[in-house]
Structures are given as C-alpha cells and as structure tokens.
Amino acid sequence: MFSVSSGIGNAAFTNTSSGSNLVHSWSFGDGFTSTDTNPTHSYMLTGTYVVCLTITSIDSLSPCTSTYCDSIYISTDSTTAGISSVELTNFTLFPNPAQNVVNIHFDETFHGEVQVADIIGRVMTNQVVDGNNAKLNISLPIRSLSD
C-alpha cells in the first residue's frame, strides 16, 4: 500500500508496505515507472491516473508478489489531488511463465493500466485494459523499470 501527497503537477508517493528484501515497482498511470521505494513523479496533464505499486519479496526461493493500485487525481494548475482505493487482489495471469502472450482475467470489471514486468524488472507490456479479460503481448521488453 502507499500514500500520496501532491503539488501542482507533482506527486510524492510513500510506500507503506513493510518487510525486508523488497523490490518496488511503481507504475504512475501515464507510461512512466520507478523502482524507488518512495518516488516522486511529475505529471504533464491534469487527470485521473491509476498508480500501481508491485512489491516482490526476494527472501525465499519462490518470490512473493503483491500489487496495490489507487486512482489519483492530479491537477497541473492547482494543488488538487485525490486518492481512491482500487485494490487489485483478484486477478489471474496465465500462462506463467510465458514467452509471447499472457492472458489476464479480473474477477470484476477493471478499467486502468496493466503493466507486466519480468523477474529482473524489464517492462514487457504496458496496456490499458477495459473489461474482465485481456491478451497482453510480452514478446519484447519495453524498458527497464529503473529507466
């Protein structure tokens, strides 16, 4: 989970997850990403963005991953910002592992951005989904999460 504070066009995110040996992968809803624990991000346009934080624990041989998303409102001409909960715990991604295409199924209708990264943080796809199901092309990485 995370919290957010903002100014004109900017947002500062605070990771509120706990644990040790965690890898953080942020998606800011506008195509940009970060692997910082508590990143800041500048938005170019006023609007609502779905921000997702994926935490991977690398304490064991089988990493555990959890994703939390919130919808935030950013204004580029005032200090208005808002946050509303959109927790993503009920979805299925298959097949896993995969080489070219993965399918994602949400238990409820989902409207927002889906980003799939490989184990080393390369973003394999970044796609807007509107509905319960989507096919995602992961054949080539887009960029590293640290870009």
Rounded to an integer, what distance in angstroms lies between the CA atom of residue 19 and that of residue 2? Answer: 14
pLDDT of residue 87: 52
Share of the chain above pLDDT 70, in %: 81
Q: pLDDT by residue (tens digit) across 39-52? A: 999 988 888 888 99
Query: Averaged over 8-34, what is the pLDDT?
Result: 88
Structure tokens at 147: 């870009």
Query: Averaged over 7-19, what is the pLDDT?
Result: 84
Host H or E run for residue 66: strand 64-74
Architecture of domain 2-144: Sandwich (2.60)
Q: pLDDT by residue (tens digit) across 76-132? A: 764 444 444 445 557 788 887 788 888 888 877 777 777 777 766 677 887 888 888
Query: Averaged over 119-146, what is the pLDDT?
Result: 74
Q: Is the pLDDT of residue 8 over 90?
A: no
pLDDT of residue 84: 43
Residues shown for the chain: 147
- Average confidence score pLDDT of the chain: 78
Share of the chain above pLDDT 90, in %: 14
Contact between 102 and 87 (Cβ < 8 Å): no
Contact between 123 and 145 (Cβ < 8 Å): yes
pLDDT of residue 80: 43
